[in-house]
A = this chain, B = another copy of it.
Amino acid sequence: MSAEVICVGTELLLGDILNSNTQFLGRQLADLGIPHYFQTVVGDNPERIKQAIKIASDRASLLIFTGGLGPTPDDLTTETIASFFETPLEERPELIADIKEKFAQRKRTMSENNRKQALMPKGASILPNPMGSASGMIWQPRPNLTVMTFPGVPAELHRMWQETAVPFLKQEGWGANVILSRTLRFWGIGESDLAEKVSDYFDSTNPTVAPYASKGEVRLRVSAHAESKEGAIALINPIQQRIQEIAGLDYFGCDDDTLPRVTGKLLLDTKQTVAVAESCTGGGLGAMLTSVSGSSGYFRGGIVAYDNEVKQQLLGVKAESLNQEGAVSGTVAKEMALGAKKQLHSDWGLSITGIAGPTGGTAEKPVGLIYLGIATPEGEADQVELRLGQQRLRDTIRHISACHALDQLRRKLSA
């Protein structure tokens, strides 16, 4: 009893559009606890669509198609599915009426092309599209096989999925077993180091524990299957607790907890504020902090001191520090953090100065060398040196630097 997703569209193969439908359907199937092992993308070609149907229908009992339901000659999904299962198409008068009605609402007349969108295989139920002219179908072409079709437009797919497909699947007994996943999130530890610490859990089969890493963050996905959501949670919770104990402060949250959200909540809970001083990130740290709605409760603002003159005039960085240590130095980072705290009257000051590349590096100060400054409510300042490597992209270096700065504050607030 597994599902497969088949996305139809030459534009997907050509990379003209980003395929977000597989992500949407993947999450939805996981939430319903419906196993899903393969996704296929195929172009607008009947023979190849049939190959994909053959392979998927031999492996799975629910086939979910997206795309190819439009009115133009290259929209072939419905007729190809019907042909594969040797079933004739028939025009549905209720769909003709529905399409005409939708055109009338937009003060337009249905074109002859759209008549095609009213054709369905004999025996298929209509999967209504409240937003557009591309209705889908729910069809059982043979025992133990259900086919669903959706348009490729994400908003239409989402609504049709929620309004019709989910109730249908639940009623048919799909997803009686629940698969629940929780993502544990870590900062300040590498994937392999964390993997070594928690390697005992990788052999666990229920829940399973799997690591992945992206732009400096490491995640562990803990997935449990059980008869109920509560049962799955009861399997996940003790594992999560033990992993948190092992990881200590390297663990910062789970699922939707981002570094700015977690750090912001710590500030809000303790009624403290923060201001930033940024050089190489150019405003990225402030943008990250304010990605959270409600950040005005603890974020005062910041000074982007890209030019050294600005560092001196607006942040009070000493000419001496700039001359002797250079703009990319721990001393300047500390003075910037203190300057932000002072100028913006905040409890904490956070600063970043560094070399984001790809140019500007030297043997002594290579691309990827970053200094963070943290000014404390007591008016003291610390610095942290990061070496992010010379091969990373400018944007990645800037992103990781801003995350590290937030992480430093999070650790101090959690201590």
- Are B286 and A304 in contact, with the CB atoms below 8 A? yes
Interface residue A284 (Cβ < 8 Å from any Cβ of B): yes
CB contacts (< 8 Å) of A221 on chain B: these are 10-11, 14, 16
Does A307 sit at the interface, judged by CB under 8 A? Answer: yes
Interface residues of A in 272-298 (CB under 8 A from B): 276, 278, 280-291, 293-296
Picked from B9, B27, B196, B287, the residue with its CB within 8 Å of the CB of A111 is: B196
- Given A38-B48, A281-B287, A391-B130, CB of A19 within 8 Å of CB of B17: no
Specify which chain B residues have a CB less than 8 angstroms from the CB of A393 in the assembled complex.
Answer: 131, 155
Contact check: which of B16, B51, B199 meets A183 at CB < 8 Å? Answer: B16
CB <8 Å contact, B300 and A306: yes
Contact (Cβ within 8 A) A276 B304: yes
Q: A18 touches which one: B20, B30, B195 (CB < 8 A)?
A: B20
Query: With A40-B39, A74-B202, A280-B290 known to touch, is A301 a contact of B303 (CB < 8 Å)?
Result: yes
Q: Establish whether residues A282 and B310, one from each chain, have CB atoms under 8 Å apart when the complex forms.
A: no
* Contact A202-B72, Cβ < 8 Å, known A30-B15, A302-B304: yes
**Contact of A27 with B14 at beta-carbon distance under 8 Å, contacts A155-B396, A196-B111, A301-B303 already known:** yes
**Contact across chains for B296 and A301 when beta carbons are under 8 A apart:** no
Chain B: minimal CB distance from A413 (Å):
19
A383-414, CB under 8 A of B: which get 1 and which 0?
A: 00001111111111010000000000000000
A27: chain B residues at CB < 8 Å are: 14-16
Q: How far is the CA of A10 from the CA of B222 in the complex (A)?
A: 12
Contact pattern, A 1-42, Cβ under 8 Å of B = 1, otherwise 0: 000000001111111111110111111101000001111111
Q: Is the CB of A306 within 8 A of B295?
A: yes
Total chain A interface residues with beta-carbon distance under 8 A: 120
Residues from chain B with a CB closer than 8 A to the CB of A335 are none
Q: Which residues of B contact A343 (CB under 8 A)?
A: 314
Instruction: From the candidates B73, B153, B285, name the one contacting A283 in the complex (CB within 8 A).
Output: B285
Q: Quick check: is A112 within 8 A (CB to CB) of the other chain? A: yes
A347 within 8 A of B: no
The CB with the most chain B CB atoms within 10 A, among A36, A43, A307, is that of A307
Q: Is A181 an interface residue (CB 8 A)?
A: yes
Asked if A38 contacts B23 (CB within 8 A), the reply is no
Distance A363 CA – B30 CA, assembled complex (angstroms):
39
A302 to B358, CA, bound (A): 23
Interface residues of A (CB under 8 A from B): 9-20, 22-28, 30, 36-45, 48, 51-52, 55, 59, 70-74, 102, 105-108, 111-114, 130-132, 153, 155, 181, 183, 190-193, 195-196, 199, 202, 210-214, 221, 223, 276, 278, 280-291, 293-296, 299-307, 309-310, 314, 343-345, 356-360, 387-396, 398
7 shortest interchain CB distances as A-B pairs: A282-B290, A283-B286, A283-B283, A15-B26, A15-B27, A39-B41, A302-B304
18 example contacts (A-B, Cβ-Cβ < 8 A) are as follows: A11-B212, A13-B36, A14-B221, A16-B221, A38-B48, A39-B40, A51-B59, A70-B213, A72-B192, A73-B199, A106-B388, A111-B193, A155-B392, A283-B302, A293-B358, A293-B360, A300-B309, A314-B344
